[in-house]
Structure 1
Amino acid sequence: MEPALRSPRRRRGPLAALALTASAALAGLGLGLPTAHAASVAHAGCGQPAQPDFGPNVRIFDPGMSRDRIQSQLDKDFETQKSTQTAQFASGRVAHLFKPGSYSVHDNVGFYTSVAGLGQNPGDVQITGDVTVDAFNESDQGSALQNFWRSAENMAVTPTSGDDRWAVSQAAPFRRMDIKGGLQLFPASYGYSSGGYIADTKVAGKTASVSQQQWYTRDSALGSWDGGVWNMVFSGTHGAPPNTFPTPPETTLATTPVSRDVPYLYVDGAGKFRVFRPALRTNASGPSWANGATPGDSVPISRFRVAKPGDKAADLNRSLAAGCSLFFTPGIYHLDQTLNVTNPDTTVLGIGYPTLVPDNGVDAMHIADTDGMRVKGVLFDAGTRNSNALLTVGKKGEHTDHAKNPISLQDVFFRIGGDLAGKATNSLVVNSDDTLVDHVWAWRADHGKAGTVGWTTNTADTGVLVNGDDVTATGLFVEHYQKFQVLWNGRRGKTIFFQNEMPYDVPNQGSWNSAPGTAGYAAYKVGDKVTSHEAWGLGSYCFFDTNPAVAAERAFEVPRNGGVRLHSLLTVSLNHRGTIKHVINDVGGVTPDGTKPVNVPHYP
């Protein structure tokens, strides 16, 4: 995504039932394993001391430290992670973790940086100052279009100017935040930005989007909202604007049908590290912590293997097989074998954008079709030999009911090219029923290091392939793949918010036709046999820069039946480089000049 390219703009088997019963009985123990298995974990070598070594890339601050000492470290990390030119595809990874208490600091957040409070609730860490993302670099030219891979979570912030600034694009979540003022989602220059995602957050004042082209806000509370370029979507958000798409382009659902807040690291009253795992919510509205605390259970850090760069895949797999969860610290992890996550209620949690790179053509991770798996905060980066899939969830054709304790994927990101000349046929394959896909950016890179990007270099067919039934996606960003960006074959799927760009580098029309006589590939295709599917707030953009004569027949392709319904759809041709002929099936006109959207409020 280049700054110059944008204008404003069921069933349950007996084993599964037994696992759920055991999980409920052992909620206090964390992993939800049968008693004998849970007892054996303590001897499996995965346990950590109450004060574990998180490695050299994790900064842990406490209120007893001087303000100058903390600020000096924040500034040093920012200078290292700041540059769009040199840090965007570098190896630096870092996490800033604040123990409960009060601080007076300003944290400018650069690439691959996670900032988080270590309280059990956002108010346990009070920042008087700012947690800021802006168009920091002269090379950005006032644009925030490449402000990727950074996060803020689980803190209360009282902004020094009255407004905090979080001017980001993709893969930059803002979660469990309590902003005691306003929130500005645009750069101070008022340049373009292409975000973004907020969840489980309270903003006392106005949230202003201004130059943000699209944004999704879930299970939050806002004092007010102002602005919208193309596609602003809200679900379960108090203070959200009314549903007015396309003028202004705001789509609002009163509740989120099913959601779950992310697992997160915290320090308990005794000073011990634990991981909190929030409970499932249905028809949610407002932050999960609004009434004092987020419901859920707590896992001691002793139930995790704390992984560090250099750890071998075989060792990580032995820990997983023994019943350990995984806590990935910041860094890059090369995998010469697939990580297999098989035990119920296993948590895979990353901070500081830990990056998993599959070597030798293996898949990076497989998750078994079992209850309660959670993956959060991990970046999958394709290796130079083709992987069939970077992350696969479940086994195709096994329809086990996980509705009461689903698998959840949150802040899970995928990259094909940019840093490496990566290759993967699919990025994410979801076979398990009831899976929650909550904030995913699957990106086939359109820019990066020399030799890592090109039509025959960073090859990738599909970003997200869904075969499971009753899968829900909240905040789905998928860009630049070479065939269908999203292919949804499962029944009764739901998507709330979808952002897409078609591939920039299609060489010619003859190399990019989904069928004889059908130009291009739809960005979002619902399988021909699907009879029930619903989605809200979907935008697809084209920028066929290599060959502006290229066209796509349609952005959205779905079966023509009353059970498949899509709401608030749009297409845009960025700077009129190529065209999309229809929005959905044969409905909606060709994208015009002037970077103007073509809108379809409802289909059918």
Structure 2
Amino acid sequence: MRASRWKAWVVPLAVLATAGVAVPNLPARAATAPDFGPNVKIFDPGTPVADINAYLRGISAEPEFSTDRHAVYFKPGAYGSATGIVNSEVGYYTSIAGLGASPTDVRITGALHSEPRQNADGSSDGLTNFYRSLANLSIDPIQRPVGADAERTRPEGVAPPRTMRWATSQASSLRRVDIRGDLDLNGAYGATLFGTTMADSRISGTVDSGGNAGPGQAQYHVRDSQIGGWTGGSANLVFSGVKGAPASDLTGRGITTLATTPTSRPAPFLTVHEDTYAVFVPKARTNASGVNWATDATAGTGIPIARFHIAKPGADTAATINRALASGKHLLLTPGVYRLDGPITVTRPDTVVMGMGYATLAPTGGRAAIEIGDVKNVVVASVLVDASPGTDVLVKVGTGADVNIGDATSPTTLSDLFVRVGGAQAGSARISVQVNQSRVVLDDNWLWRADHGAGVGWTSNTSDTGLEVNGTDVTALGLFVEHHQKNQVVWNGERGRTIFYQSEFPYDPPNQAAWRDGTKEGYASYRVAPGVTTHAATGTAIYTLFTDSTFAGAPAHAWTTVEAPQRAGVRFTSLTSAVIALGGGIRGIVNTTGAAVDATRPNQVVPGFTAAARLASYPR
């Protein structure tokens, strides 16, 4: 580790509360470790591997809707060896990260892996392997089955030499991960999964997503990374700014490749040097390609932990959090569920709100979770939101008084923001996320009206729309929006751009009459307002699985997947639509253009799906 990485991060106490000051080049000062609460575990290189494995395996079996949360950190150094590997599955609501300035500062020999589940019919899937993440560490992969899986006749945890498995679906990002071998995103025996986001990562070997013949990852978004190669294909694999990415191929593999990512901003991350903690907040990148793990002043800003209010569930209220924010503090949400009686309100520019271990905001009484005022350069990262009944907008960026507020060089960014309506608890909302600012970056957002769990039903967890964009020049990277009851996305602002979009229509319209947009069958998933003159989206995958109407004997249909004005400046490329199973289908891909998909006309374009159609570009 080079000490020079850290010098600019240490700020004299006299200037800790001052924004925008020049940071002197001083040696690091030791400090007492912050109190992150009982749900954060920090390992150092002296910790026995057996203790590390015991702890990780002890938290790996949380149920899907558990209220427990876990953050695990590794201080810089080496962990494990060829004869004593770090080896555990990573379970629900667990984030694991290194505390170095670079991923190479924490080197693990072994595997932090996620495995598919085995079903009674002999199949495997990870369709609900949500809410787990790895970040800012390096892994020399050696993987073995653990726990109950090791006792199976066919353990899922077996893997080829120098291979680690990450068989997950939504909300399970890989960020700043350096894997010195191969990465398997599928499963030992093939599994069905629904993809997530990989960013700012380097895989020296080959990534295998499965799906060439049978199940696999139906979609994945990889950006600003470097890979040794990629094998597999399915509905929608999107690469932007990825060195070593495969060429675009819509004939069978469902691959879309862009040489660069036009606008992106890596997520902030926690670091430590000699027990001095800080949060590094990267700057935005333009036309990015490959990894950039620099942490000098050209790459971002280090914020000492003393400038954060460290919140704890049960101890902090909306009032205590908002007082701290108003006083000039940033916010660190330690792991847990925050049942607040009002929204977290951000009224100062340049504020960072960062969660640890899937920290969850569950506001009561139909209140919003986060409201960002008309201020620039706010960063929200690694936060899960649960709606309560009667919510209007759960996360609001800007008041709407001036949608032109925003900064292209320091855009307000929502990274790894996940919103649920139902599932964990009864809840409803009109809109999950509303963007009333310009030049905002949405980075790996899953906005989910739950299809299973608590409070789920057509008239119970009601929700009109996942995302509404009213600002200009807003960019969405890795956008997942599912099951809302009207348009999943409504884009009213000019010059919007989406790179990768995954969506499912609601499963549960009881019949077609209950799900109509005026005279049209159902609603388009992605709607661009009629007055918009410039918009671009690439790599969309939109599916149906109509359960209730199929079982009622009259399967529903959607009239299209994308509704947009037919103008030269409004462009869609690499679009896919499909019927996952059961009845019904989709009449068109963009407006009335593109082939229909219907359960009665299977063509197996996408392995494992009943029917699928692709449209290379619109307008043609």
TM-score computed with the length of structure 2 as normaliser: 0.87
Q: Deviations over 1:526-550 (max 9, x none)?
A: 0111000001100100111100321
2:45 alignment partner, one of 46, 63, 66: 63
1:237 alignment partner, one of 227, 242, 245: 242
In structure 2, the residue matched to 1:509 is 512
Could you tell me how far apart the structure 2 residues matched to 1:337 and 1:401 are?
Answer: 25
Could you tell me how far apart the structure 1 residues matched to 2:617 and 2:464 are?
Answer: 28
Q: Select between 459-468 and 243-252 the one with higher mean Cα deviation.
A: 243-252
- Is residue 115 of structure 1 aligned with residue 83 of structure 2? no
Shift of 1:401: 3.8
In structure 2, the residue matched to 1:91 is 67
In structure 2, the residue matched to 1:492 is 495
In structure 2, the residue matched to 1:19 is none
| Counterpart secondary structure, 1:305 | strand
Could you tell me how far apart the structure 1 residues matched to 2:596 and 2:297 are?
Answer: 49
Correspondences of 1:402-441 after superposition (within 5 Å): 402-441=407-446
Shift of 1:248: 2.6
In structure 1, the residue matched to 2:572 is 566
2:535 alignment partner, one of 533, 536, 539: 533
Q: Is this contact kept in 2: 1:364–1:380, CA < 8 A?
A: yes
Shift of 1:400: 2.0
- Is residue 465 of structure 1 aligned with residue 468 of structure 2? yes
- In 2 relative to 1, CA 576–391 (structure 1 residues): closer, same or farther, beyond 3 Å? same
Shift of 1:28: 8.1
1:226 alignment partner, one of 231, 244, 259: 231
- Is residue 277 of structure 1 aligned with residue 316 of structure 2? no
2:351 alignment partner, one of 330, 342, 346: 346
- Is residue 150 of structure 1 aligned with residue 153 of structure 2? no
2:374 alignment partner, one of 369, 375, 400: 369
Q: Is this contact kept in 2: 1:246–1:601, CA < 8 A?
A: no
Could you tell me how far apart the structure 2 residues matched to 1:576 and 1:271 are?
Answer: 56
Could you tell me how far apart the structure 2 residues matched to 1:293 and 1:148 are?
Answer: 35
| Counterpart secondary structure, 2:59 | helix
Could you tell me how far apart the structure 2 residues matched to 1:36 and 1:223 are?
Answer: 44
In structure 2, the residue matched to 1:196 is 196
Could you tell me how far apart the structure 2 residues matched to 1:543 and 1:36 are?
Answer: 53
In structure 2, the residue matched to 1:42 is none
In structure 2, the residue matched to 1:598 is 613
Q: Deviations over 1:325-371 (max 9, x none)?
A: 11011100011012111111110011110110111111111012222
Shift of 1:188: 2.0
Q: Select between 588-597 and 526-535 the one with higher mean Cα deviation.
A: 588-597
Q: Deviations over 1:419-455 (max 9, x none)?
A: 1111111100011100000000000000113xx1000
Shift of 1:189: 2.8
Shift of 1:235: 0.2
Q: Is this contact kept in 2: 1:330–1:352, CA < 8 A?
A: yes
Shift of 1:34: 11
Correspondences of 1:165-176 after superposition (within 5 Å): 165-176=165-176
Could you tell me how far apart the structure 1 residues matched to 2:296 and 2:500 are?
Answer: 29
- In 2 relative to 1, CA 230–37 (structure 1 residues): closer, same or farther, beyond 3 Å? closer
| Counterpart secondary structure, 1:78 | coil
Q: Deviations over 1:149-170 (max 9, x none)?
A: 1100000000013111110000
Shift of 1:35: 7.4
Could you tell me how far apart the structure 2 residues matched to 1:528 and 1:29 are?
Answer: 51
Letter in 2 for 1:461: D
Could you tell me how far apart the structure 2 residues matched to 1:150 and 1:27 are?
Answer: 29
Q: Is this contact kept in 1: 2:525–2:542, CA < 8 A?
A: yes
Unaligned segments of structure 1, at least 5 residues = 1-25, 40-47, 82-86
Q: Is this contact kept in 2: 1:214–1:231, CA < 8 A?
A: yes
Could you tell me how far apart the structure 2 residues matched to 1:37 and 1:223 are?
Answer: 41
Could you tell me how far apart the structure 2 residues matched to 1:134 and 1:418 are?
Answer: 22
- Is residue 478 of structure 1 aligned with residue 454 of structure 2? no
Q: Deviations over 1:464-483 (max 9, x none)?
A: 00001000000000000000
Q: Is this contact kept in 2: 1:505–1:544, CA < 8 A?
A: yes
Unaligned segments of structure 2, at least 5 residues = 1-7, 22-29, 81-85, 143-160, 211-215, 603-609
- In 2 relative to 1, CA 292–275 (structure 1 residues): closer, same or farther, beyond 3 Å? closer
Could you tell me how far apart the structure 2 residues matched to 1:394 and 1:532 are?
Answer: 22
Q: CA RMSD in A?
A: 2.2
1:518 alignment partner, one of 517, 520, 527: 520
In structure 2, the residue matched to 1:44 is none
Could you tell me how far apart the structure 1 residues matched to 2:611 and 2:312 are?
Answer: 47
Q: Is this contact kept in 2: 1:121–1:294, CA < 8 A?
A: no
| Counterpart secondary structure, 2:548 | coil
Q: Is this contact kept in 1: 2:17–2:328, CA < 8 A?
A: no
Shift of 1:244: 2.0
| Counterpart secondary structure, 2:559 | strand
In structure 1, the residue matched to 2:398 is 394
Shift of 1:138: 6.0
Could you tell me how far apart the structure 2 residues matched to 1:34 and 1:331 are?
Answer: 28
Shift of 1:416: 0.5
In structure 1, the residue matched to 2:107 is 126
Could you tell me how far apart the structure 2 residues matched to 1:304 and 1:260 are?
Answer: 21
Q: Is this contact kept in 1: 2:446–2:481, CA < 8 A?
A: yes
| Counterpart secondary structure, 1:575 | coil
Letter in 1 for 2:585: T
| Counterpart secondary structure, 2:377 | coil
Q: Is this contact kept in 1: 2:17–2:307, CA < 8 A?
A: no
Q: Is this contact kept in 2: 1:121–1:293, CA < 8 A?
A: no
Shift of 1:36: 6.3
1:585 alignment partner, one of 591, 597, 614: 591
- Is residue 302 of structure 1 aligned with residue 309 of structure 2? no
In structure 1, the residue matched to 2:546 is 544
TM-score computed with the length of structure 1 as normaliser: 0.89
In structure 1, the residue matched to 2:458 is 455
- Is residue 250 of structure 1 aligned with residue 265 of structure 2? no
Letter in 1 for 2:611: K
| Counterpart secondary structure, 2:597 | coil
- In 2 relative to 1, CA 528–204 (structure 1 residues): closer, same or farther, beyond 3 Å? same
Q: Is this contact kept in 2: 1:49–1:302, CA < 8 A?
A: no
Letter in 2 for 1:530: V
Letter in 2 for 1:473: A
Q: Is this contact kept in 2: 1:483–1:521, CA < 8 A?
A: yes
Letter in 1 for 2:174: F
Aligned length: 559
Shift of 1:575: 1.6
